[in-house]
Amino acid sequence: MRNYAEETEKRVQFIRQAVADAHADGILFGNSGGKDSALVGILCKMACENTEGIILPCSSKRNFTIDKDDGMEVAEQFGIKTRVIDLTAQKELAIETMSQVATLSQAAIGNLAPRLRMLTLYAIGASENRLVAGTGNASEYHMGYFTKWGDGAYDLNPIADLTATEVFEFLRYLKAPQAVITKAPSAGLFEGQTDEEDMGVTYAAIDKYITTGEANEHDKAIIDRYHARSAHKRRDPLRYHGE
């Protein structure tokens, strides 16, 4: 297990340096009510007083109930100023407008919410001279379990090297609300959705594999498949450089 007292100090310094280097006035993060956003919000608040979380419900009933409630509990416990912006109408308008010229796949529709959230965070961030903090962990990054130009876009990410297991450990160290620690991780893209059911493999299995190389054949096949097909998400856009 990591020394989380030391990890806290190092990450707080990382965040402070990023803000100073950018000559920014503060930080914004999407407060989803999940484990990753909770940890990012707590660390950013420790590093920068002018940190705000934006709760961005979009269509899914869960966004407006359990996720919003858990996000507010974290914000209240750690003194993080919070705003709520309902993006449901924006998503519906986007679907209506684009459906006039294209047939949208379910995957494309599912990715609208993360991209609308990042659009919102960057619009507010640019208007208020704030950096946008990312909330993805190393397990999700390895699996490509994030939306390109959605939650995969950010100015800084203070938890990018942590596995999902370590995120939970870190939150326990910081005495974050139990509701955030114990509920099943979910992107909240549709009713009943959970990350592990989507992927067909547990975070515990993913974390064991990426840290030790050990996995049963079933889990290894899933993890390798996800990692291979999401390679484009982990590299810079292709650019022609000439000869």
Total number of residues shown for the chain: 243
**DSSP letter for each residue of 84-107:** E---HHHHHHHHHHHHTTS---HH
pLDDT at 63: 83
Q: What is the pTM of this model?
A: 0.94
**DSSP letter for each residue of 14-34:** HHHHHHHHHT-SEEEEE--SS
pLDDT at 64: 83
Distances (CA, A) of 190 to 68, 76, 201: 15, 26, 19
What averages of pLDDT result for each successive group of 10 residues across the chain (243 residues)?
96 98 98 96 98 93 86 97 97 97 96 97 98 97 96 97 97 96 70 78 95 96 97 94 82
For residues 35 and 167, the answer to whether their CB atoms sit within 8 Å is yes
Phi, psi (deg, nearest 5) at residue 30: -80, 115
pLDDT at 191: 58
Q: Reduced to 3 states, what is the DSSP secondary structure of residue 152? A: coil
Q: Reduced to 3 states, what is the DSSP secondary structure of residue 138? A: helix
pLDDT at 37: 97
Strand residues in the chain grouped as ranges (E)? 26-30, 51-55, 81-84, 130-133
CA 199 to CA 197: how far, in whole Å? Answer: 5
The domains located in the chain, with CATH, are: 4-233 (3.40.50.620)
pLDDT at 35: 95
